[in-house]
Amino acid sequence: MFSKENHPKFGYVTSSETKKAISDGNKEFYRTRSHPTKGLKGILSKQYARQHFKVRHTTIGNNVDTGN
C-alpha cells in the first residue's frame, strides 16, 4: 500500500533537532510513567499464567465434538 515511493514521507530527511526532540519526549514519557505490573513476582506477575495454559488443539476439538 504505502511502500517506498508511494509512502508520503518517502525521501524526507528528519532534522537532528526533530530527532532530539522526539527522543527527549519519549524519555520523559517513560521516566514519569511506570508499568502497572513492574516488579511484581510470583502469582502477581503478568507472565505467571502463561506456563499453565497448555491445552492441545486436538483436545479442544475432541471436547467440542463429544459435547463435553
Q: What are the residues whose beta carbons fall under 8 Å from the beta carbon of 10, sequence distance 6 or more? A: 4
Res 45: pLDDT: 77
The CA-based dihedral angle spanning residues 25, 29, 32, 34, taken in that order and rounded to the nearest 10 degrees? -150
pLDDT of residue 53: 62
Asked if 10 and 4 count as a contact pair (C-beta separation under 8 A), the reply is yes
How do residues 8-55 score in pLDDT, each as one tens digit?
Answer: 888 999 999 999 999 999 999 989 988 887 888 877 877 776 666 666
pTM of this structure? 0.47
pLDDT of residue 35: 82
Q: What is the pLDDT of residue 67?
A: 58
